Amino acid sequence: MTSWERFVKAARGQDVDHVPVALIVDCPWLPGFAGIDTLDYFLLPDEWLRVNLNLLDRFPDVTWIPGFWVEFGMAIEPLKGGLQALADMEPADPQRHGLMPLVLQFYVDAERRLLSRGLNIKMVGARGPFAVASWLLGLTDFLIALKIEPEATSRLLDTLTTTIIAFLQAQLDILHAPEGIYVADDIVGMLSPEMFKQFVRPYFTRIFGAFDRLIKVYHNDMPCMHLAEPMSTLGFHVWNFSHEMDIGTLQGKMPGVTLMGNVPPLDIMTLGTLEQVEDWARQCVRKTGGRRLILSAGGGVGPGTPPEAIDVLVRVSRETAISR
């Protein structure tokens, strides 16, 4: 069983030989891991390919989420004009607007080169509508707008949701045999259950519902235990969540979701000892019995995380039996 096959089975709640390990990695960690400048990682396709292939060689038992990710960081800045200037804008075209055409072309070239090596890109990714809206308006202004201008904010979120679905589909359409989508949106975790029902549910069920046959991974590492039960009904298979949420308690609230977590990414994975990493990883397995668990950090892999910390997760996963 390959690491990807193990990940997919766990995501769907099927039996696996041992607990999978999966990690979200992107531009804050990868250039430092590879010892290159961040701009070289963004701008030199040969370096991007070398770094991502090296992950497979160095960590063959880890699934990287989304894996071979063409992403340029949180590059969108707040715009002048506020909500009134954006509420009625047209959905963006992934083939023409912003950095999306650059991402699509990068994927075309990257997968052509990967296919020649017998590899392909398994998963594509996008930020969610609340994350994008908070960058467009500024986080504080966006959260205020949800309360005092709900109709205009809903129109903006509807437009962003349409754009995100189109961008994910455009990525899927140019790849050989994609199997999953990854959506990241921490802002959702700041809302009350009432606002979740009003604003989050309509848009996220649209996003996840648009890709029925694919594995759907959701990243939101904002502590939000108060949203666990409604979150479990949005239609994703895997949730990468905060290390500040107890994994055993969360499993009890979300029995139909595979949990991807939740070793603290900074205090333990980056700054802690290897013994502390092992202790946290074993706690995750013990509290869940290893069932519907993908061992991971409670968030993305932070800059400076030593490769040896990842090795510890892999060792724990292989040594631990899954309770039936």
Rounded mean pLDDT of 86-109?
A: 92
Rounded mean pLDDT of 1-21?
A: 95
What are 149-198's pLDDT values in tens digits? Answer: 999 999 999 999 999 999 999 999 999 999 999 999 999 999 999 999 99
Does residue 35 register a pLDDT over 50? yes
CA distance 83 to 89: 10
Confidence at residue 115, expressed as pLDDT on a 0 to 100 scale: 97
Rounded mean pLDDT of 205-221?
A: 97
What pTM was computed for the model?
0.95
Of residues 261 and 320, more confidently modeled: 261
Does residue 219 register a pLDDT over 80? yes
Confidence at residue 171, expressed as pLDDT on a 0 to 100 scale: 97
CA distance 30 to 27: 5
Contacts of range 29-38, beta carbons closer than 8 Å, 24 or more positions apart: 29/300, 29/301, 29/302, 29/303, 29/304, 29/305, 30/55, 32/303, 32/304, 33/305, 33/307
CA distance 142 to 147: 9
Sheet holding 215-219, edge to edge: 62-65, 21-24, 293-297, 258-263, 238-240, 215-219, 180-184, 123-127
Does residue 322 register a pLDDT over 80? no
- Using an 8 Å Cβ cutoff, are 135 and 126 in contact? no
Domains and CATH numbers, the chain: 1-67+256-324 (no CATH), 74-121+123-178+180-213 (3.20.20.210)
Radius of gyration of the chain (CA): 19
pLDDT band at 98; cut points 50, 70, 90: confident
